[in-house]
C-alpha cells in the first residue's frame, strides 16, 4: 500500500508518516491504528501538526488534526534542540472523515499557518535567561509590584526591563527610575520617550 501523496511546503519536515492512500474498509483496520498517522514540524514557524484517527481501528471514526505551537529547548547532552509542543492549548483543530479533504486541509495549513514567537526571555535560542524569565512569569501572572520592580531594576536584563515599560499598569514614577537606571541606553531612551507621552506627562 502506498503512502498518501502530500505536497510538502518549504520549511516543513515529515517527522512520522503512516498515512496511507486508503480509505477505511473491512480488512484494512491496521492502517488506522496507532497514536499518530502523520507528524509535521516547522522550526521557523514553531508549528507542529499531528494527524490521528479516532477511535483507533474504528471504521466509523474520523481524522483528527491538531496544530500546536511549540518552543525549543537546547539539550546540552546531545547539543540538539528538543521541541515542547503545547498540547493543552492547540492553535487549531480540525476533523474530517474524508482523506481527500484531509489532504487539502493539510496542504492549505502548510501554506498559511503564521509563525509563533517564543514568549520566553532567552539568552540564546532554546536557552532560558534567568532570573529575567522568572520575572516575566511573575509580571504575567501577578502584575506589577514594588518588589518585582526592584528585582527587575537590579537583576533583570534589557528584555524584561522593556517588557515592564510596556506593561499596561506602568506608572510615571516607575518609568522615571528606568530612565535613570535602566540596563542600557536603549532602555533609558525608551523610558524617556514614554515620559514625553501625553499619558505620562505631569
Q: Are 126 and 108 found together in one domain?
A: no
Residue 140: inside a domain, yes or no? yes
Whether residue 19 is found in the same domain as residue 107: yes
pLDDT of residue 1: 84
Please check whether residues 93 and 130 belong to one and the same domain: no
Residue that the C-alpha cell 539568552 belongs to:
123
> Has residue 191 been placed in a domain?
yes
**Domain membership flag for residue 98:** yes
Q: Is 158 exposed, middle or buried (0-12, 13-18, 19+ CB in 10 A)?
A: middle
Residue 21 lies in a domain: yes
pTM of the model: 0.84
Domain containing residue 85: 12-112
Residue 147: enclosing H or E segment and its boundaries? Answer: helix 146-155
**Residue 117 within any structural domain of the chain:** no
Question: Which DSSP helix (H) or strand (E) runs through 111?
Answer: helix 99-112
Are 104 and 18 within one domain? yes
Last residue of a domain, one of 112, 130, 149: 112
Residue 200 falls inside a structural domain: no
Check whether residue 18 and residue 103 sit in a common domain. Answer: yes
Contact 47, 69 (CB under 8 A): yes
- Residue 157 lies inside a defined structural domain of this protein: yes
Per-residue pLDDT of 67-118, as tens digits, reads: 999 999 999 888 889 999 999 999 999 999 999 999 999 999 999 999 999 9
Same structural domain for residues 76 and 136? no
Instruction: Give 196: exposed, middle or buried? Use CB within 10 Å, 0-12, 13-18, 19+.
Output: exposed
Same domain, 28 and 102: yes
CA 89-93-94 angle, 5° bins? 170
Of 82, 112, 142, which closes a domain? 112
The total of structural domains in the chain comes to 2
pLDDT band at 197 (very low <50, low <70, confident <90, very high): confident
pLDDT digits (tens, 9 = 90+) for 182-192: 999 999 999 99
Distance CA(56)–CA(50), nearest Å, equals 15
The answer to whether residue 6 sits within a structural domain is no
Amino acid at each position: 500500500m502506498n503512502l498518501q501523496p502530500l505536497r510538502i511546503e518549504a520549511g516543513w519536515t515529515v517527522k512520522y508518516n503512516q498515512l496511507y492512500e486508503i480509505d477505511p474498509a473491512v480488512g484494512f483496520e491496521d492502517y488506522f491504528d496507532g497514536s499518530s498517522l502523520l507528524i509535521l514540524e516547522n522550526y521557523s514557524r514553531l508549528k507542529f501538526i499531528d494527524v490521528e484517527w479516532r477511535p483507533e481501528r474504528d471504521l466509523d471514526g474520523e481524522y483528527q488534526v491538531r496544530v500546536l505551537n511549540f518552543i525549543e529547548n537546547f539539550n546540552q547532552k546531545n547539543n540538539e534542540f528538543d521541541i515542547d509542543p503545547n498540547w493543552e492549548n492547540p492553535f487549531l483543530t480540525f476533523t474530517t472523515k474524508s482523506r481527500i479533504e484531509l489532504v487539502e486541509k493539510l496542504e492549505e495549513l502548510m501554506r498559511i499557518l503564521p509563525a509563533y514567537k517564543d514568549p520566553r526571555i532567552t539568552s540564546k535560542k532554546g536557552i532560558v535567561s534567568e532570573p529575567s524569565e522568572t520575572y516575566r512569569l511573575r509580571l504575567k501572572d501577578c502584575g506589577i509590584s514594588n518588589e518585582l520592580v526592584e528585582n527587575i531594576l537590579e537583576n533583570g536584563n534589557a528584555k524584561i526591563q522593556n517588557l515592564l515599560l510596556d506593561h499596561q499598569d506602568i506608572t510615571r514614577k516607575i518609568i522615571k527610575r528606568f530612565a535613570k537606571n535602566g540596563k542600557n541606553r536603549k532602555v533609558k531612551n525608551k523610558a524617556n520617550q514614554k515620559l514625553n507621552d501625553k499619558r505620562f506627562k505631569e
